[in-house]
Amino acid sequence: MREPLPADMSDELCPSSLSPIRFGDKWAGLVIRCLEYGPRRFSELRVPLRRVTPKVLTQSLRSLERDGLVKRTVYAPGTPHVEYELTPLGHSLLGPIAAACAWAEQHGEELVEARESHDAAARLGHTG
């Protein structure tokens, strides 16, 4: 039995979700991190990615599969289910994602302050 994914893995203030560096779509980096230690079912991915709608998660997984980063395996005999796992190309992104997460963790406070300042200025009509 594999260890379940932590439910708080992608909380709003997680450095990986703060990072302005994107790998694929908005959720691709977090999906890749969820698959770091082996294959997962869709329902397992939904635990830490609960803020992602099933439709958007499906789109993200399909995009990652299309790019050759994720492999989708359908198991039909016995208990039919589908699992997703990283390909060697997907595994090669773990280093850059870890670097982006470390950067975001180091600069998280600055990122939050900059975003809040920008949003406040936008509300007052002072952007640009």
* pLDDT tens-digit map of 16-32: 555 656 667 888 888 99
What does the pLDDT average to over 48-73? 93
Q: What is the domain partition of the chain in residue ranges?
A: 1-95
Asked if residues 24 and 64 have their Cβ atoms less than 8 Å apart, the reply is yes
Reply yes or no on whether the pLDDT at 95 is more than 80. yes
User: What is the pLDDT at residue 18?
Assistant: 58
Topology at the third CATH level for domain 1-95: Arc Repressor Mutant, subunit A (1.10.10)
User: What is the pLDDT at residue 19?
Assistant: 60
User: What is the pLDDT at residue 13?
Assistant: 37
| Lateral strand order in the sheet of 40-41 | 40-41, 81-86, 70-75
- Residues 6 or more apart in contact with residue 37 via CB below 8 angstroms: 2, 3
User: Which pTM does this prediction carry?
Assistant: 0.76
